[in-house]
Structure 1
Amino acid sequence: MLVKEMSYNDERIFNLLKYFKDGADKDNDFCYFHNLPAVDTNSLEEIAEAFEHNHTFCKRVRTKAKHIVLSFHKDSTPYLDDATLYALTAEFLRLRAPNAIGYVQKHVEKEHHHLHVCLSGNNAYSDTSIRLDKAEYIKRMKELEIFQMTHFKELNTSLVYQHQKEKKVAISPKETHKQAVLKLLTELSDKARYTDEFLELIAEHSELECYAYRNKINGVFYKGKKYRFKKYIPERYSALEQLQKWHELSKGNQNSQELTH
């Protein structure tokens, strides 16, 4: 699965948690609580207050929370029952931030399953940041995929960090172009926090040009050929779309707050 993170420093954690809850499938609700203190888990207000209280222990850590999306390939959807999601969520949190507090909610959009994760920016009741350097982060995500491959072989289409290294060397010009555009799109999507930033990065790249279908940008032109985002970087693009929705919502909330002052 792909892991995409964005820092959250807005005033109220409650707004982020409400976004998680509002987007959940009411008939197939999956949520997970990580190191939360004794609160009513049915109350978003109490959960949010636990995050806010935890941040008061910070003297150096600016990031209040991390908004993380765990994204799966659409072909993995039939195998993502609650037991599988529970195991993968627990292992992700163990590797990413075992001592932080967290709240996880599942969203289902068309063929894709996503897990939205809110993680405290600091460990529970501590001034210690959950930040990892890039090398350590990639190392732990590879460990997560080893766990996934070992216990859930049927999720082989949702491998990202291990699978990239296993791709065969291209031998034809056509395959060379495919590998080149995959590399470019992967690098740019990993730099972006949400879709708008991704498209801005593409616009700055001399070899790439976006194309649209029915007024929606679906991919890029590269060397005269079209390459669809959802074919070449499906998990990454799906995660960016999820973070874009939150970005637009939070920006709208910010603007409405400014108008009331």
Structure 2
Amino acid sequence: MSSIGHPPWGAPTATAAGAIAVEEYGYGLGPPTGVLVLRYPPQAAVPDFPPDRDDFVHQLFWSPDGVLAVHRGDTSRFLSSAEMLWVRRGVVAEVHGLGRQTVLRVCVRQAPASLTALEAGVLAPEAEVGGRLLEIARPGVEEQDGLRARHDVLEALAGCRAVHLGHVDGGAGPAHTVAQALLHDPADPTSLTDWAARLHVSDKTLQRHFVREFGTTFTAWRTTTRLRAAAAMLRHLSVTETAHRVGYTSVSAFTAAFTREFGTSPGRYAG
């Protein structure tokens, strides 16, 4: 995946980050009441947003047509298009997409108190909020319309119930190295033995690290991660495609595992 550096706070331009064309749309960027919207269009590879992020702005992440994976310390979550991620300035969180998808990254200096009190959290606003963001993530929008949309979006988000993403320092042990790789690609078929060989530790050592760091075995952690990713993907993909995207070759095996985890079949879960 490509890495994206600090988001610029400047005039609306088209820039390139590696092989990824990034569209930038800024409104009222002089005073602190402005907003910058970065749009990463669907690509074969979607961007990573690294932890060495700019602490000058609060950020909002959303994918209207895909799944975002969020990792903060020991906390991980997959977000569907019905959810957005709020990250307060100065807070470290790793965000990346799981496929060919659009990603919006919104940067603001000022926000309502209920948002600035939140370090990092998942919000599930009404669909109209995403629509307002898409309206200003395109050329030809008047500055006053962009600023009005900024106000509407932030006010709507401020009224949402947030699921806080806490931070527990996970360290940099071998289990966390494997866990981070699986969050990037839940379908990764690498076995415990192969991971251990790559990391120059024994199978037993790696398994022991998983139990100590995550309270469960490698296999159980990978299964849970795959199923949580699947729950977000089902909003956009069929059951069969979702199963394959998270590493199941058998749809029936996926359905059985999903039903055990969530108490309902993937078809019913998707509605």
TM-score range for the pair, normalised by the shorter chain length: under 0.3
Q: TM-score, normalised by structure 1?
A: 0.28
Q: TM-score, normalised by structure 2?
A: 0.27
Q: Counting helix residues as a fraction of each chain, which structure ranks higher?
A: 1
